[in-house]
Amino acid sequence: MSHDPHPAPPPATGHVLGAPVVRREGREKVTGSARYAAEHAPQDCAYAWPVPATIARGRVTAVHTADALALPGVLAVLTHQNAPRLEPPDDPILALLQDTEVPHRGWFVALAVAETIEGARAAAEAVRVSYESLDHDVVLTADHPGLYTPKEANAGHAGARESGDFDTAYAGALITVDATYRMTPLHNHPMEPHASTAWWAGGRLTAHDSSQGSTQVRNDLAAVFGLARHAVTVVSEHVGGGFGSKGTARPQVVLAAMAARHTGRPVKLSLPRRQMAAVVGHRAPTIQRVRLGAGADGVITALAHEVVTSTSTVKEFVEQAAVPARMMYTSPNSRTVHRVVALDVPSPSWMRAPGEAPGMYALESALDELAVLLDLDPVELRLRNEPGTEPDTGRPFSSRGLARCLREGADRFGWRPRDPRPAVRHEGDLLIGTGVAAATYPVLIAPSSAQAHAAADGSHRIRVTATDIGTGARTVLAQVAAAALGVPVDRVQVEIGRSDLPDATLAGGSMGTASWGWAVHKACTALRERLRQHEGPLPAEGLTAAADTGDEVAAGSPYARHAFGAQFAEVQVDTVTGEVRVRRMLGMFAAGKILNSRTARSQFIGGMTMGIGMALTEHSTVDPAFGDFTECDLASYHVPVCADVRAIEAHWLDEEDRHLNPMGSKGIGEIGIVGAAAAVANAVRHATGVRLRDLPLTPDVLLPHLP
Amino acid sequence: MKPFGYLRPGTVVEAVQARAAHPGAQFLGGGTNLVDLMKLGVTAPDLLIDVSRLPLDRIEELPDGGVRIGATVRNSDLAAAPVVRDRYPVLSQALLAGASGQLRNTATTGGNLLQRTRCGYFQDTSKPCNKREPGTGCPAREGAHRDLAVLGHSAHCVATHPSDLAVALAVLDATVDLHGPDGERTVPAAAFHRLPEDHPEQDTVIAPGEMITAVQLPPPPAEAHSLYRKARDRASFAFALVSVAAQLDVRDGMVRHAALAYGGLAHRPWRATAAEEVLRGAPATADTFRRAADAELAAAEPLRDNGFKVTLARRLTVSVLGELAVRRR
C-alpha cells in the first residue's frame, strides 16, 4: 500500500468534537515555560510605572519631574506635556496623557520609565503632581438627579422597552412582587495583571499584550498612533484570564507603546494590582427594581425590570441588566428600563456576563419571591412561564433547553422532595437551605477569518487570530479542524494569538469558539475539497485554503438564539456568626454541542465559582471621601478560595441545534456565572426565612436577622 | 527603589548590635508583611537584618511543663507540633485559621506578632494615616471602617491588629522574650501590643532596637479545655471579623477557670478581663456567658459601619464557652 499523506477521511469524524482532549499548552503552563506578556524581555528593555491621580476630579496644574529624573537609571517621565500625541481613540479611556483633565481618582497623569522596574517605581513615587481639585460625586443612589435613560445599553440593546400595558396589568394582578436588589461594584481581577511589552522598529509597532483579542488591540493601536494596521503586530500568546477586562486595548498597551516611542527602547509595563481597579474596568453597581404580577396559577401577566446604574464621565457604559427580562418568561405586559448617571468614578466595562449576571440575579430572586407567595415549587413556577417564542421579538427559539435543564438538574441535584418551609433544617448551629435559579446567555457571533494548510508531509496547520485566555481555545480549534478535515487531532497544528494571522474576533461575549471555529471549519472544508480534487503528490509548498465568515454572520438568523441553564445550590448559614457557605452546587446547561467536555466543564464551574463570589464574598466599595475603590488587592477583594467551593458539578444536555454554526455550539464562557448568585441567595432565604436582597451576603448582612 | 542593605547575622547578639548601629534598620522574619509594606512604600528601611535563620527555630518543652517557642519557628511548624496540638490546641487552631498554607510556611512566630494592621488607609500612601504618618489624620474614622476597631480605639486611630496567633497567646498567659541593646526582658503577651491612644505609630511596647527571641507558654491549666473560633468573610485566607480564644475549666457546673480574648476588635488582642471576672465561680450557663460578654463589650464604641462586630463577638463568646463547658474530660 503506497503512502498517502492525505487518506480519505473516515465517514464519521464527529467523535473528536466533544472529546475531553487535554489542553495543548498544559505542560508549558504547569512547567512555567509558557510566556505571558510581561515575560518577554527584548534586548535593552526598559520598564514603566504609571502615576495615578490622587484627586477624584479636577485638573493637573503641574507635574514636577525633576526629582524623578534625577534618580539613577531613569530614562523619562511622560506627562501630558511631552507624551506622544494620539489620535482621538474610540474608547476615551485610551486618551492617556493627552490633557490635564482628571476625571476620576486613579486616572494616569504621568508615566515613569527607567532601566529597571524598581527604578521606574521609585521614579513614579518621586513625581510630584499639583492639582486644581473640584468637588466630586461618586455615590450612586436610586434617586440621583443626574439619572437618565440612555438610548442604548451595552451591546446595542435598547435603553428602554415597553410592551402591552404593564401598569394596568400589574394593578390588576392577583399576586404581586415588588422588590429592589442592590449590587456593589465588582472587579474582574484576572490572575495575570494587564501587562504589555512594546517596541518600535522601522516605523512598525510590536506589542506583547495581555489581551482577549489581538486583532482588536492591533486595530485600537493603529488608530491611536495613526498607523496602517499592517504596521502593528500584537501578540497575546498566553493570557492569564480577563473576564472582559482585556476585551479591547487597555491603558497598559498604549502607555507601553508611547513610552517605547518616546525613549526609543522596548518598554515593559505590568500594571500593579493596586492600580488595576481604577483603569481596566469593573462591573458597575446596580439598583434593580423588579415587579411581577401573576395569577393564582403562577403565570406572569406583568413584568417590570428597572435598572439604575452608574457610568463614568469619561464614557457611557450601561450594564444591560434589564435585558434578560426581555426573553426569559412569558409576559404580555412588560417594561424593561435602564437609567444611568455619570459619576466621577472609574469607567465601568465588561465583566463576565455583563447584563445577564446582575440582571438574572434580580429577576431570578424575584421569581423565587413569587414562588414563595404562591406556595409553588420554584422549578414548577419557571416551567409554567416558559414562552413559546421569544417574548420581546416573537421570534422562535432556535432551541430552548431551560425546561429540560430545570428537570434534569433537579433530578441530579436531589431537589425533590423539598420542604418549602424556611428555617426548619438544623444541623447544630447551622441552618440548611436549597435554592434554584435559571441561567441564560445570548448566542453571539462575529466575523472571523482563518487559513487551513495541508503540508506535503501530511500535517495540517490552522492559522487564526484567536486568543486562549485560559479556556483551551487552541485545543478546541484543533478539534474543530480535525473534524472538518477528517484527520486525527494530533495531525493538526494550531497557530493563534498573533495579529498577523488572519483577523478574528476577541475572546469575549462567549463567542470566541463559535466565531473562530466557524471560520476554521469553513477553511478546512474548502481545503478538504481541494485535497479531494488534487491528483498526485502535493506540491512542496502544500495546499492552503482561506475563509472568512463575514457573509454568514451578516446574514443573521430568524431565530432567537440563547443558551440556558439551571443552577442549584445548597447552603449552610451559621446562626452564631452569620457566615454563609455553599455546601454543594450543581449547574445544568443547554449550550448546543459541547466541543470539549474537559475544558467546557472547567469554564462552567469557573463561572459558577465566580457566581459564588458574587453572592457571598466579592464587593468593591466606593470611598465617598476619596472617590476610589477601597479593595484594591487580592487580600481585601475576596474572590472565593478553594475552601469556599466544596462540591461543584456541571452537567449539560446533549443539545442539537442546527441554527447556530457548523459545529452546533453555543458559547459557554459566561453562562456559568448567570443565575449562580440567585441560586445561592434563594437558598439562604430557604435556610433562614429571611430575604436579603443586597449582595454580597457577608456575615454583617446576615447577623441582624438570625435567631 | 530606595536601595537597602541586607545583613544575615549569625547570632542574636550580632543582630541586636547591627540594629543598634543602624537606626534605619528593620528586622526581617518571613517577610510576608514587611516586604509588602516596602513595595507599597509604607516603610523604607535602610537595612534589612534577616533574623529568620538565627538558631531560634526550636520548640522546647520546659521543666516546669511550659513550652518555649523560638522566634523563627514557622507558623506551619508551630501549628503542627504535637506538644502544641495536644496541650495548647487553641494556639494550633489560631495559627491554622490564619493566612494560607504558603504564608504559614514562611511566616515566623516573631514576625507574626509584629505584623502591621491591614487598614486600607495605612497601606495607601496617597492618603492620610496617623499610624503611617503621625499627625496627618485618620480617614478611616469616617471612611471605610467595617473591618476596624470597636474597642479601645482613639481619635487618632481605629486600626485592628490582624494576628490570630497573638489572640491565642493572650489567652494562654504567654510571655514574649525580648533582646535589646540594654539586655533581655520579658513582657506578657497580652500587654505586648498597645492601644493607639496618642501614638498609633507604636503598635507594641517593643523598644527601639529590641527583637523578639522567643515566646514562652506557661503550663496549661490541668483541667481546662481551649478553643479558637474565627468569623470571616470567606472560608479561608481572610482576616478575622471577630475571633475568640477561650480556655475554660468547669467542675460540677461551676466555672473554675476562664480565660477569654478577642481578635479583630481592637488595636491589640483583647484580653477580656471583665468577662473573666463574671465567669469565675459562676454557673456555667448560657446566661452567665451572655453576662460575661456583655460585661466586656459594654466598653465597645462601634463606628458607623462596624457595630455588627459587637453582636458577633457576643454570639461567638456564648457559643465558644458553651461548647467548652460541655466538653468531656
Identify the residue among B233, B242, B312, B318 best suited for mutation to test binding to A, counting A beta carbons within 10 A and taking the highest. B233
Reply yes or no on whether the pLDDT at B228 is more than 90: yes
Q: Which helix (H) or strand (E) holds A48?
A: strand A46-52
Please report the pLDDT score of residue A4 as a whole number.
53
Question: Could you report the per-residue pLDDT of B44-76, keeping only the tens digit for each?
Answer: 999 999 999 999 999 999 999 999 999 999 999
What pLDDT is recorded for position B300?
A: 98
Residues A90 and A220: beta-carbon distance below 8 Å: yes
Q: Is the pLDDT of residue B255 over 60?
A: yes
Rounded Cα distance between B212 and A361, Å, is 51
If you count residue pairs, one on A and one on B, with CB atoms under 8 Å apart, how many are there? 85
Longest CA–CA span in chain A (Å) reads: 83
A630 in contact with B at a CB cutoff of 8 Å? yes
| Beta carbons of A255 and A93 less than 8 angstroms apart | no
Q: Count CB-CB contacts under 10 A for residue A554.
A: 8
Q: Grid coordinates standing for B323? A: 461548647
Q: In the prediction, which pLDDT does A15 show? A: 79
Tell if the CB–CB gap between A642 and B139 is shorter than 8 Å: no
- pLDDT for position B2: 79
| Subunit contact A700:B126, Cβ cutoff 8 A | no
Nearest to A643 among B127, B236, B308 (CB): B236
pLDDT at position A8 is 47
Q: Which of A20, A47, A1, A560 is nearest to A265 (CA)?
A: A47
- Mutation site, A582, A630, A705, interface B, largest B CB count within 10 A: A630
Report phi then psi at A701, rounded to 5. Answer: -75, -40
pLDDT at A6: 55
CA-based angle A436:A441:A443, to the nearest 5? 150
Closest residue on chain B to A635 (Cα): B238
Q: Enumerate residues 236 to 265 of chain B having a beta carbon within 8 A of any beta carbon in chain A.
A: 236-239, 241
Q: Cα–Cα distance between A478 and A495 in angstroms, integer?
A: 10
Q: What is the pLDDT of residue A12?
A: 40
Instruction: Tell me the H-state helices in A48-203.
Output: 66-70, 117-126, 166-171
Residue pair A485/A452 in contact (Cβ under 8 Å)? The answer is yes
B318 in a domain, yes or no?
Answer: yes
- Distance from CA of residue A473 to its chain's centroid? 15
d(CA A326, CA A335): 9
Strands A562-574 and A430-442, by their bridges, are antiparallel
| Per-residue pLDDT tens over the stretch B277-313 | 999 999 999 999 999 999 999 999 999 999 999 999 9
In whole angstroms, give the CA distance from residue A162 to residue A166. Answer: 8
Q: For residue B299, give its domain range.
A: 228-325
Q: Does a structural domain hold residue B232? A: yes
Looking at residue B222, its pLDDT comes to 84
Domain map (residue ranges) of chain A: 391-442+561-707, 445-555
Q: In angstroms, what separates the C-alpha of B9 from chain A's closest C-alpha?
A: 26
Radius of gyration of chain B (CA): 19
Q: Is the ipTM of this complex over 0.90?
A: yes
Question: How does strand A333-343 pair with strand A300-312?
Answer: parallel
B231 to chain A: nearest residue by CA?
A: A577
Q: B320: nearest CA in chain A?
A: A576
Task: Specify the residue for cell string 496541650.
Answer: B87
Q: What is the CATH number of the domain that holds B254?
A: 3.30.390.50
Contact between chains at A54 and B126 (C-beta distance less than 8 A): yes
* Same fold across A391-442+561-707 and A445-555: yes
Phi first, then psi: give them for residue A294, nearest 5 degrees: -145, 160
Indicate the number of domains in chain B. Answer: 1
A369 classed as catalytic: no
HEC string of A500-548 equals CCCCCCCCCCCCHHHHHHHHHHHHHHHHHHHHHHCCCCCCCCCEEEEEE
Which CATH number does A391-442+561-707 carry? 3.30.365.10
Closest alpha carbon within chain B to A73: B1
Q: Cβ of A630 and B236 within 8 Å? A: no
Q: What is the pTM of this model?
A: 0.97
Contacts of A469 (CB under 8 A, 6+ apart): A212, A239, A240, A241, A242, A246, A507
Q: How many residues does chain A have?
A: 707
In 3D space, the residue among A246, A183, A199 whose CA is nearest the CA of residue A468 turns out to be A246
Judge whether A643 is closer than 8 Å to chain B, CB to CB: yes
Burial of B4 (0-12, 13-18, 19+ CB in 10 A): middle
- Report whether CATH 3.30.365.10 matches the domain A445-555: yes
d(CA A484, CA A478): 10
Please list the helix, strand and coil fractions of chain A in percent, rounded to the nearest 5, in that order.
30, 25, 45
Tell me how far the alpha carbon of residue A627 is from its chain's centroid. 25
User: In percent, how much of chain B has pLDDT > 90?
Assistant: 97
Average pLDDT value for chain B:
97
Which residue in B41, B142, B315 is closest to A625 by CB distance? B142
Q: Using CB atoms, which residue from B100, B127, B316 is nearest to A577?
A: B316
pLDDT exceeds cutoff 70 at B23: yes
| Chain A interface mutation, best of B36, B229, B234, highest count of A Cβ atoms under 10 Å | B234
Q: What percent of chain B has pLDDT over 70?
A: 99
**A72 interfaces chain B, CB cutoff of 8 Å:** no
**Within an 8 Å CB–CB cutoff, is residue B143 touching chain A?**
yes
Pairing of strands A46-52, A267-270: parallel
Residue-level pLDDT at B223? 86
Averaged pLDDT in 10-residue chunks for chain A of 707 residues:
48 74 96 97 97 98 98 98 98 98 98 97 97 98 98 98 98 98 98 98 97 98 98 98 97 98 98 97 98 98 98 98 97 97 98 98 98 98 97 97 98 97 97 98 98 96 97 97 96 97 97 98 98 95 98 97 98 98 98 97 98 98 97 96 96 96 97 98 98 98 96
